[in-house]
């Protein structure tokens, strides 16, 4: 289903926009990602959610994982949110937007995020917890992969980390039907 640190001043070089995004913003955005993830779980989906916001705080899109119902291993929450945001804005370039996601993005999702022009990512649970919950990985976490990209990606972990970890561990893959 898709629905349309201390306070720190940052400059989004890619978009040429000066913005102020602080911990309060990131927590509010993560709450939206958690809420949509919980909705997905209620519909039998894997426990992942993502939200895309403009740096001024306007929500562009939220989405949960739909890999199970779509029988599509690429239907991750981040991919679904990026698709919805592009449709909502009528363009492929999401420069100046932030991605809030309940778990550290996998290589596919991180790559799609970078290709969409998003340079700021806030995540809740790290890849170690994702693996512990049974959702695996490809041997490289998002933070390691981001260092290899030709663009700078600002990744902030543990935003509402305990809530995101609890969501994953309550919904372990091995405890749910395949």
Contacts of 46 (CB under 8 A, 6+ apart): 40, 65, 67, 68, 135, 171, 173
Task: Give phi and psi for 111, each to the nearest 5.
Answer: -65, -45
Helix (H/G/I), strand (E/B), else coil: 43:
coil
Q: How far apart, in whole angstroms, are the C-alpha atoms of residue 148 and residue 61?
A: 28
SS3 12: strand
What's the CA gap between 34 and 160, in Å, rounded? Answer: 9
Angle 107-115/77-89 helices, nearest 10 degrees? 20
Please name the residues in contact with 178: beta carbons below 8 A apart, sequence gap of 6 or more: none
Catalytic residue among 6, 39, 45, 78: 78
**38 in active site:** no
Could you list the active site residues? 78
């Amino acid at each position: 289903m898709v629905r349309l640190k201390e306070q720190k001043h940052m400059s989004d070089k890619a978009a040429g926009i000066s913005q102020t995004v602080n911990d309060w913003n990131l927590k509010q955005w993560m709450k939206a990602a958690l809420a949509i993830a919980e909705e997905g779980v209620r519909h039998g989906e894997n426990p992942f959610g993502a939200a895309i916001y403009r740096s001024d705080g306007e929500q562009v899109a939220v989405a949960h994982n739909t890999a199970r119902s779509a029988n599509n291993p690429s239907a991750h929450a981040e991919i679904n949110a990026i698709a919805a945001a592009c449709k909502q804005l009528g363009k492929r370039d999401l420069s100046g937007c932030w991605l809030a996601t309940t778990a550290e993005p996998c290589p596919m999702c991180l790559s799609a995020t970078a290709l969409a022009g998003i340079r700021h990512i806030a995540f809740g649970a790290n890849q170690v917890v994702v693996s512990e919950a049974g959702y695996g990985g490809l041997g490289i976490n998002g933070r390691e992969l981001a260092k290899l990209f030709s663009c700078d990606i600002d990744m902030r972990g543990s935003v509402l980390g305990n809530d995101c970890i609890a969501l994953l561990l309550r919904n372990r893959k091995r405890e749910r039907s395949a």
